[in-house]
């Protein structure tokens, strides 16, 4: 091998450069493509199954938008009465609104219409459910702490708008089931002291049911609420990229870094696979799992109500609250205050969302964590009080959801609906308290067992006899650790919050 230096490689001329290189140079000369995109493509994302819940909500929203745009080509948001002349024989000749008639037309006449309708409905259920599960993951792991409080507020607002968007879309077909829901909504409006009748007239345009409500809900459903959802999702994702992702504790993971897959190509590949799975599962559900068969209910008539009518699960807790509150009323200065509607349908949801909005700020003040940025996730067992509060909230919601179908439960199990209602009333008060106490105790017990395992090691399965004649098992050092598990025993926690003493804090970099 010669020691002489090699001649420099010939530089490609401008004509020899590929079209892609010329396009990249042209784009970078006008936009910060390479400077901005380079850091973005290398951004790390931690890998854990629970982190995909937010993506599940995002891709469900994409399916909602695509199928919703397709449905707008055929749906008529009109309440003018027409006689049905379509292929569904049981309703032929029946008077119905154009909204219901067009829904039947989509279901029976348009090729692929029923598939699109059912995909849209299933995607709505998955979307709201994924947001709820994502918020629970954020709550139980403490990912709402500084500097992510604003993103938590945005997430709660997204959840609230998703509920309103689902109710608006659910009411558009003007069938007997959705019309019953609108009648309940009007009763909630009328329960507002003094202004209730004015609110109802403003929303419906006249005496219930009026002729404007479907057209107004249609504008909300396809324009205003989706616009708000897309805008908030965009801001939410921008903050996720700016503030960086939370991660589980572990070797090499601190408040100052993120260990995980780069955005491109690893994270992009796994996220694209998840999106295709979401599309496929929703298409499969839309094709084989019937949902919301409006032709069975028939068109809405104010003098009729469906037997065993149940709303979609995400508003079932409101239905349950309405069924559990006793018939309390008060007359004040000629005005009747209907506490049995006002408390469960107006005051209760307001308090629930107020608690959700305020919780990150209240907890951080009580624990003193608002002084520093927190980028590492907590394991639920390490925060017994927070986890207990979450379990209590889930229990409270579950009891209300069961109460929303108390008539179905009573019929199915052959018990008195009145007795079941009283059982659920008592459980609504006692159940969350028991859930909190049991969960807090369980978290502390699991944490103590884990600390004992770290101190003594894990059992090998071998037993030996001591010189005193007793028996003891052999132990070996712990070598396997689940995500976020400590490698060494923690010091006792704060008795007020159940928070273990943190590892020596590292100063988090302040953002400009």
Pairing relation of β-strands 261-262 and 44-45? Answer: antiparallel
Tokens read off for 468? 């005193």
Closest CA to 378 of 477, 436, 447: 447
pLDDT along the chain (512 residues), means of 10: 55 61 71 62 81 94 97 95 94 95 96 96 96 96 94 96 95 92 92 90 88 93 96 94 85 81 85 95 96 92 78 90 92 84 94 96 92 90 95 96 92 93 96 97 92 78 78 75 71 46 48 45
SS3 assignment, position 458: strand
Q: Which stretch of DSSP H or E encloses residue 336?
A: strand 335-338
Structural contact between residues 500 and 490, judged by C-beta atoms closer than 8 angstroms: yes
Residue 464 phi/psi, 5-degree rounding, is -130, 160
The CA distance from 208 to 384, in Å, is 49
Domains of the chain: 42-356 (1.20.810.10), 379-460+477-485+492-500 (no CATH)
């Amino acid at each position: 091998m010669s020691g002489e230096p090699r001649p420099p490689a010939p530089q490609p001329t401008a004509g020899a450069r590929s079209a892609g290189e010329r396009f990249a140079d042209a784009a970078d000369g006008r936009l910060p493509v390479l400077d901005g995109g380079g850091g973005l493509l290398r951004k790390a994302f931690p890998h854990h199954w629970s982190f995909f819940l937010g993506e599940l909500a995002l891709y469900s929203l994409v399916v909602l938008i695509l199928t919703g745009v397709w449905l707008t080509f055929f749906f008529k948001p009109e309440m003018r009465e027409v006689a049905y002349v379509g292929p569904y024989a049981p309703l032929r000749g029946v008077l119905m609104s154009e909204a219901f008639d067009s829904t039947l037309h989509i279901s029976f006449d348009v090729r692929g219409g029923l598939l699109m309708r059912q995909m849209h409905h299933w995607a709505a259920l998955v979307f709201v459910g994924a947001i709820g599960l994502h918020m629970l993951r954020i709550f139980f792991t403490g990912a709402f702490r500084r500097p992510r409080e604003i993103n938590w507020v945005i997430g709660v607002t997204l959840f609230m708008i998703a509920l309103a968007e689902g109710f608006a879309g659910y009411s558009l077909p003007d069938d007997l089931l959705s019309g019953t829901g609108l009648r309940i909504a009007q009763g909630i409006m009328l329960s507002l002291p003094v202004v209730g009748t004015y609110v109802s007239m403003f929303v419906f345009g006249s005496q219930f049911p009026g002729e404007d409500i479907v057209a107004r809900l249609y504008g909300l459903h396809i324009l205003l609420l989706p616009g708000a959802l897309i805008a908030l999702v965009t801001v939410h994702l921008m903050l996720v990229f700016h503030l960086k992702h939370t991660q589980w504790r572990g070797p090499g993971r601190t408040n100052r870094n993120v260990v995980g897959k780069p955005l491109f190509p690893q994270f992009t590949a796994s996220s694209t696979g998840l999106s295709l799975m979401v599309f496929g599962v929703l298409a499969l559900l839309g094709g084989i799992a019937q949902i919301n068969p409006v032709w069975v209910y028939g068109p809405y008539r104010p003098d009729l109500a469906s037997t065993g009518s149940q709303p979609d699960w995400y508003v079932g807790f409101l239905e349950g609250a309405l069924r559990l509150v006793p018939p309390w009323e008060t007359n004040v200065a000629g005005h009747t205050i209907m506490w049995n509607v006002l408390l469960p349908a107006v005051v209760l949801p307001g308090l629930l969302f107020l608690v959700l909005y305020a919780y990150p700020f209240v907890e951080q003040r009580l624990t003193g964590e608002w002084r520093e940025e927190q980028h590492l996730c907590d394991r639920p067992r390490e925060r017994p009080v927070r986890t207990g509060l979450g379990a209590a909230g889930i229990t409270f919601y579950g009891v209300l959801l069961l109460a929303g179908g108390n008539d179905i439960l009573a019929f199915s199990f052959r018990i008195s609906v009145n007795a079941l209602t009283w059982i659920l009333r008592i459980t609504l008060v006692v159940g969350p308290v028991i859930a909190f106490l049991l969960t807090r105790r369980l978290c502390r017990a699991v944490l103590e067992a884990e600390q004992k395992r770290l101190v003594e090691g894990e059992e090998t399965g071998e037993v030996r006899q001591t010189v005193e004649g007793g028996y003891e098992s052999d132990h070996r050092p712990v070598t396997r650790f689940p995500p976020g598990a400590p490698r060494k025993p923690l010091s006792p926690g704060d008795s007020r919050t159940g928070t273990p003493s943190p590892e020596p804090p590292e100063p988090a970099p302040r953002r400009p």
